[in-house]
Amino acid sequence: MNIIFKITKNELRNLFYSPVAWFLLIVFLVQCSIVFTSLLYPVAHAQDIYRESNPNFRNWGELNSFTRMLFVEQGALFTHILRNLYLFVPLLTMGLVSREINNGTIKLLYSSPVTIRQIVLGKYLAVVAYNLLLLCTLGIFVTTAALTVNTIEYGLLMSATLGFFLLICAYSAIGLFMSSLTTYQIVSAISTFTIILVLSYIGGLWQQYDFIRDLTWFLSLVGRTDKMLVGLITTKDVIYFLVVIFMFVGFTLIRLKSGRASKPWYARATEYLTVLAIALAVGYISSRPRFTGYLDTTSNQINTIHPRIQKVIKELGDEPLEVTLYGNLLDDAAPRAFPDQRNVYLDYLWEKYVRFKPDIKFRYKYYYDYDESIQGPSLFRRFPNKTLKQIAERMADMYGVDLSDFMPPEEMKQLLDLRPENLRTIMQLKYKGQTQFLRTFPDTEFWPDETNVSAVLKRLLQAKIPKVVYITGNLERSIYKSGEREYESMTSDKRNRASLINIGFDIDTVSLDHQDIPADASIVVLADPKRDLSPVVVEKIRTYISNGGNMLLLGELKKQHVLNPVLQTLGVQLLPGTIVQPSENEMPHMATPILTGAGINLSDDNLLWAVRKLRNQKKADPALELFGTDTITALMPGVTGISHTPDSGFTMQPLALTLESQGWLKMGPLVTDSAAPVFTPAEGDIKGNFPTAIQLTRKLSGKEQRIVVCGDADFASNLRKYVSYFTISMYSWLDENRFPIYTPRSGHQDNLLTISGKSAAVLKIVYVWVIPGILALFATILLIRRKRK
């Protein structure tokens, strides 16, 4: 080891007695300084202005993370440096061995009592030492951030730093090998650029072929640091870099040994192939799910599926889970399911689940089919006078895939009919003989999220799935129609990731004039009947309520008399009249009641959970003014108030409440498209705080009965996008918060700078000009003195 360290020391001396090492170090420092200070100063300056304008300013909010903004987001320090790192290494390594060959000193090394292994390791360690110097340069900015950002994410920074160091060391190993192949340093530099370029883009090559897909994906450098940049360290990524280092250092040893001892070409080729085979074998084995370890270094474990989802996966036990992806060539999202995207699909969607269940098996089926009644006529308009097969041939040619890999419609129907699933790209999960569909969605995210996946897993576990039954027969809101008034989007829309059927609920309808309420109904919904309910219907609903059933009832203006006979059983009545809330921008009947404490505690929806957290912060700090951020409203277009009789046997709490200061209950005629209405007591107008949605609870046979009554039904319609944080939370509460499985997470705490704008401006001058200038002056003096000697 002493000889290796002596070679390392001598190589470092040579590096720093040449202008290249100093030049690269200064350029690296200036680059880091410009990126870091350009991000730090504007925020610090803006924060000074906000503090001067608002004495109650506390931070930038939990959605903001200065650790991420300064270091790992797009254009931040680490992402910027890693994107340009390949420009530095070839210039640094181009003379490591080629200089010895060109000067003839390599023969002296060969004849000295020094082994090739010591020479190679000594030279490589010298570059690693230089890399540590670059790492220390980055440490200047990490330390600065630690001193200027409140509660900085140390774990995230350490993970990103590790990614930087491993990547530059891998680049250095490549540069070392390239330097050993030629006597010309410029050729060595260009060769290093070329190899890095090849390894960066090889992951996108031949991904459509099963035999080499995993091989080229493994060899790819692109994305190997992505997980580390966001705080997730995996053993397969770390081992990948170590394998690359081992492989190219091994190649260098073989190359230099061939200069000392003559061997046939096939013997040398065998040595290279042996090193390559060992590297690929280790890399392949280490990348298998069973042998992959994970470390999430973020404070809120953002890279790990929520503990509630982990609990669901744990319930699956050791029984294998099979996932089959069905891709339709004629679906707009077809390319996402193609073979060349499999690794992207597995990495983006499934790796976080495979981490906790490594025995998930993945299968793939491809077909082509199109149905105008489901997907519309657009495809046949694009390809007029063509048969479905001819269109499929054209589409396959356009995508560059082989049509023979896709089953025709007839064959696919025999295997599985996906018309009920709109012939979209979809996954079928199979567990213990049970199957369930996991859908994709036509939005920016496309793939299902944790809530969607957990709902399907729960179904496979045959857990008791809540069944929501909608009463029909009197012109109620329909759960199967897409009109403005209807409820399809919230309930049965398979294309909406937040609809009830995609988050864990079963839905059904019942006409009580001819049927009874199903015994397995978890929640019964009566949504805005337009005709008077028959005595039979009223009696069945009353019986359901008296037996302790949970129910959601939604009324509407001018139809209060239709719902009130049912509500009478609950000691509740919808008031006559209309809540008016005059405002500058909306018509007066567009009320925006605030959600009460009970409304905000309905569920763990992300928005409600965040508001509860803000309110707790306000309790802990009475001086904290949140300026409305701890209050949520729900638009209810045309709503009336709700009254409740205290002796009904139910405990009532309002969920949404209008404020007396903002409006009143108007009893007379209301004109919404003319002059603003006026409060007129003579017409019976009443001022007050009116609940527009309430919850009722009572203990019955050892079980808590839960009922929600709303004075408006439009807020849950397709037109109003069903105000998901409020409406879906009602269903969650009625189901005792079993579904959907919410995944709330703590926000970022590193959301405040402890440095002023003036200090940040000074730092910018020091880091961009002063320190690089001093370093350049020191390097110049050292090199001049060295040259004189």
Write down the pLDDT at residue 626. Answer: 52
In a domain, 322, yes or no: yes
- 429, 460, 491 - which closes a domain: 460
Distances (CA, A) of 341 to 210, 314, 433, 495, 726: 12, 29, 28, 22, 37
Q: Which range has the worst mean pLDDT, 25-34, 76-85, 254-263, 718-727?
A: 254-263
Write down the pLDDT at residue 519. Answer: 94
Regarding whether 575 and 524 lie in a shared domain, the answer is yes
Segment 495-500 long-range contacts (CB within 8 Å, at least 24 positions apart): 495/422, 495/424, 495/439, 495/441, 495/442, 496/441, 497/439, 497/441, 497/443, 497/445, 497/448, 497/449, 497/451, 497/452, 498/724, 498/728, 500/468, 500/728, 500/731
SS3 assignment, position 326: strand
Write down the pLDDT at residue 230. Answer: 93
- 435, 460, 485 - which closes a domain: 460
- The answer to whether residue 119 scores a pLDDT higher than 60 is yes
User: Exposure string (b/e) for 175-212, b if CB count within 10 Å is 16 or more?
Assistant: bbbbbbbbbebeebbebbbebbeebeebbebebbeeee
What is the 3 state secondary structure string of 356-386? CCCCCEEEEEEECCCCHHHHCCHHHHHCCCC
In a domain, 63, yes or no: yes
Note whether 304 and 343 are within 8 A (CB).
Answer: no
Strand partners, 439: 426
pLDDT band at 114 (very low <50, low <70, confident <90, very high): confident
The residue to which tokens 């599985």 are assigned: 416
Write down the pLDDT at residue 203. Answer: 66
SS3 assignment, position 519: coil
- CB hemisphere CA count around 150 (13 angstroms): 15
Regarding whether 328 and 240 lie in a shared domain, the answer is no
The residue to which tokens 């000697």 are assigned: 789
SS3 assignment, position 407: strand
Q: Hey, how many other C-beta atoms are within 10 angstroms of the C-beta on 10?
A: 13
Alpha carbon 56 to chain centroid, angstroms: 32
- Residue 269 main-chain phi, psi, to 5 deg: -60, -40
- The answer to whether residue 112 scores a pLDDT higher than 80 is no
Write down the pLDDT at residue 105. Answer: 66
Pair type for strands 642-644 and 550-554: unpaired
Q: Averaged over 189-211, what is the pLDDT?
A: 76
CA angle 530, 506, 317 (to 5 degrees): 165
- Count the domains in the chain: 3
pLDDT band at 369 (very low <50, low <70, confident <90, very high): very high
Q: What is the C-alpha to C-alpha distance for residues 102 and 110, in angstroms, rounded to an integer?
A: 14
Q: What is the C-alpha to C-alpha distance for residues 258 and 261, in angstroms, rounded to an integer?
A: 5
Q: What is the mean pLDDT of the chain?
A: 91
Regarding whether 435 and 342 lie in a shared domain, the answer is yes
List Cβ neighbours of 615 (8 Å cut-off, separation of 6 or more): 600, 630
Quick one: which of 98, 120, 109 has its CA closest to 8?
120
List Cβ neighbours of 343 (8 Å cut-off, separation of 6 or more): 203, 207, 213, 214, 217
List Cβ neighbours of 694 (8 Å cut-off, separation of 6 or more): 572, 642, 644, 652, 653, 654, 655, 708, 709
Percent of the chain's residues with pLDDT above 70: 95
Regarding whether 85 and 61 lie in a shared domain, the answer is yes
The residue to which tokens 């397995």 are assigned: 520
- The answer to whether residue 580 scores a pLDDT higher than 70 is yes
Element (H, E) at 29: helix 19-53
- The answer to whether residue 628 scores a pLDDT higher than 60 is no
**Token digits of residue 782:** 């050292």
Give tens-digit pLDDT for 380-398: 999 999 999 999 999 999 9
Q: In angstroms, how far apart are the furthest CA atoms of the chain?
A: 113
Strand partners, 30: none
Write down the pLDDT at residue 629. Answer: 60
Regarding whether 435 and 352 lie in a shared domain, the answer is yes
Regarding whether 613 and 506 lie in a shared domain, the answer is yes
Give tens-digit pLDDT for 51-71: 888 877 888 988 899 999 999
Give tens-digit pLDDT for 256-273: 888 666 778 788 889 999
pLDDT band at 622 (very low <50, low <70, confident <90, very high): low
- The answer to whether residue 1 scores a pLDDT higher than 70 is yes
Strand residue runs (E) in 371-492: 426-431, 434-439, 467-472
- Fill in the amino acid letter for 110: Y
Element (H, E) at 687: strand 686-687
Regarding whether 150 and 116 lie in a shared domain, the answer is yes
Regarding whether 477 and 450 lie in a shared domain, the answer is no
- State which residues form the domain around 491: 469-580+589-664+688-734
pTM of structure: 0.90
Distances (CA, A) of 141 to 78, 135, 161, 311, 776: 11, 10, 12, 40, 19
CA angle 699, 700, 704 (to 5 degrees): 50
In a domain, 308, yes or no: no
Write down the pLDDT at residue 292. Answer: 93
Distances (CA, A) of 595 to 345, 481, 575, 633: 40, 29, 20, 6
List Cβ neighbours of 229 (8 Å cut-off, separation of 6 or more): 72, 78, 79, 82, 159, 160, 163
- The answer to whether residue 76 scores a pLDDT higher than 70 is yes
Regarding whether 554 and 640 lie in a shared domain, the answer is yes
Note whether 431 and 723 are within 8 A (CB).
Answer: no
More confident residue, 99 or 92: 92
Q: Averaged over 317-334, what is the pLDDT?
A: 95
- The answer to whether residue 777 scores a pLDDT higher than 70 is yes
Q: What is the C-alpha to C-alpha distance for residues 206 and 73, in angstroms, rounded to an integer?
A: 30
Regarding whether 349 and 280 lie in a shared domain, the answer is no
pLDDT band at 241 (very low <50, low <70, confident <90, very high): very high
CATH number of 617's domain: 3.40.50
Strand residue runs (E) in 89-167: none
- 411, 440, 460 - which closes a domain: 460
Element (H, E) at 510: strand 506-511
**Alpha-carbon Rg for the chain in angstroms:** 34
Write down the pLDDT at residue 207. Answer: 62
Regarding whether 482 and 446 lie in a shared domain, the answer is no
Note whether 638 and 712 are within 8 A (CB).
Answer: yes
Distances (CA, A) of 751 to 152, 195, 715, 757, 762: 9, 41, 35, 16, 22
Pair type for strands 651-658 and 690-700: antiparallel
- The answer to whether residue 681 scores a pLDDT higher than 80 is yes
Quick one: which of 695, 639, 647 has its CA closest to 665?
639
Q: What is the C-alpha to C-alpha distance for residues 92 and 100, in angstroms, rounded to an integer?
A: 15
Q: Averaged over 75-96, what is the pLDDT?
A: 88
Regarding whether 695 and 602 lie in a shared domain, the answer is yes
In a domain, 567, yes or no: yes
Q: Which range has the worst mean pLDDT, 185-199, 314-328, 698-712?
A: 185-199
In a domain, 446, yes or no: yes
Q: Averaged over 235-249, what is the pLDDT?
A: 94
Q: Averaged over 160-185, what is the pLDDT?
A: 92
Q: What is the C-alpha to C-alpha distance for residues 136 and 112, in angstroms, rounded to an integer?
A: 35
In a domain, 682, yes or no: no
In a domain, 148, yes or no: yes
Q: What is the C-alpha to C-alpha distance for residues 351 and 342, in angstroms, rounded to an integer?
A: 12
In a domain, 677, yes or no: no
Percent of the chain's residues with pLDDT above 90: 71
